[in-house]
Amino acid sequence: MSGVFAKIATKTNSIAHLGSTRFGDLELYFPPLPEQRRIASILYQWDDSLSVLTQLINAKRQQKRGLAEQLLTGKRRLPGFKEEWEKTTMGSVFSRITRKNTEGNDHALTISGVHGLIDQREFFNKRVAANDLSGYYLLRHGEFAYNKSYSTGYDYGAIKRLNRYDAGVVSTLYICFGLKREDAVSDFYEHFFEANLLNEGIAGIAQEGARNHGLLNVSVVDFFELPIIFPPASEQRAIAAVLTTLDTEIAALEALKAKVAEQKRGLMDALLTGQVRVKCEETS
């Protein structure tokens, strides 16, 4: 059907001008009623499978959110860990990164709530950054960036770790930083930031109602004075392992759902065009 619409669209300057006459001339497949019902029944079964997978994914995400909030704040301790957690600041655990892009790196990155730090060409299908990237901050694999602008699920901005590439460049509007304590576990703090556990602190230092070009008015000095917790390194690793395992399970369910959805699309194309016929029970 999409090919038919494409042919019609080439005859006009705007899809709004297609009109009811051209739609009325479209040719449609019209199988016998029993076969229509059988095809619909088969496809509804696939819809049911996708619905079950969606429910499983949502339940697993909810499980992870609840467990992360408990483990990352010390409300719940893993077996074998009783040592008191240190209370410290962002600046005690992380160092600000302001290195400029003197090596000609052309991976201009943006922060996506879903994909993290990702090349603009992958996310937008084009690069929206300036042609000259020499003034941008250069991030290395494993370092973090804070985007102070609102995005879905991140009311006070998103902090993401660079995982996809060896290096990339970001706007100087981002606050970039990396670990400076040898006993700090990067995976732990990636989960910590992803759980939005800095939100309360950021809300306290952001000027009320003040946004510059959509960005929260958060100063670098105030950002690195934000209070955070610091469990023993062994407990950081254990907590990160639990949460990473849940992430892996969620990713596996999402991959299965995508595969099932792809298979359903192929089946729809075959059944709804008559390429594959289904047997219908004969009625007396």
Instruction: Tell me which residue of 33, 38, 32 sits closest to 267, measured CA to CA.
Output: 38
What's the confidence (pLDDT) of residue 284? 47
- CATH 3.90.220.20 maps onto the chain at 86-229
pLDDT digits (tens, 9 = 90+) for 129-164: 888 899 999 999 999 999 998 888 898 999 999 999
Return the bridge partners of 116, or none.
Answer: 112
Is the confidence at residue 1, as pLDDT, over 70?
no
Q: Which residue has better confidence, 13 or 142?
A: 142
Q: What is the pTM of this model?
A: 0.83
Instruction: Tell me which residue of 257, 60, 283, 88 sits closest to 181, measured CA to CA.
Output: 88
Q: How many other C-beta atoms lie within 10 A of the C-beta of residue 41?
A: 10
* Residue 191 contacts residue 68 (beta carbons within 8 Å): yes
As a whole-number percent, the residues of the chain with pLDDT over 70 amount to: 88
Instruction: Tell me which residue of 226, 220, 221 sits closest to 204, measured CA to CA.
Output: 226
Phi/psi at 224 (nearest 5 deg)? Answer: -80, -5
Q: Tokens representing 170? A: 């970001």
CATH number corresponding to 86-229: 3.90.220.20
pLDDT digits (tens, 9 = 90+) for 173-211: 999 999 999 999 999 999 999 999 999 999 999 864 555
3-state secondary structure the chain: CHHHHHHHHCCCCCHHHCHHHHHHCCCCCCCCHHHHHHHHHHHHHHHHHHHHHHHHHHHHHHHHHHHHHHHCCCCCCCCCCCCCCEEEEHHHHEEECCCECCCCCCCEEEEECCCEEEEHHHHCCCCCCCCCCCCCEEEECCCEEEECECECCECCCEEEECCCCCEEEECCCCEEEEECCCCCCHHHHHHHHHCCCCHHHHHHHCCCCCEECCEECCCHHHHHCCEEEECCHHHHHHHHHHHHHHHHHHHHHHHHHHHHHHHHHHHHHHHHCCCCCCCCCCCC
- CATH 1.10.287.1120 maps onto the chain at 31-81+231-284
Phi/psi at 83 (nearest 5 deg)? Answer: -65, 145
Could you give the CA distance from residue 221 to residue 213 in angstroms, rounded to a whole number? 20
Class of domain 31-81+231-284: mainly alpha
pLDDT digits (tens, 9 = 90+) for 73-127: 999 999 999 999 999 999 999 999 999 999 999 999 999 888 899 999 988 888 8
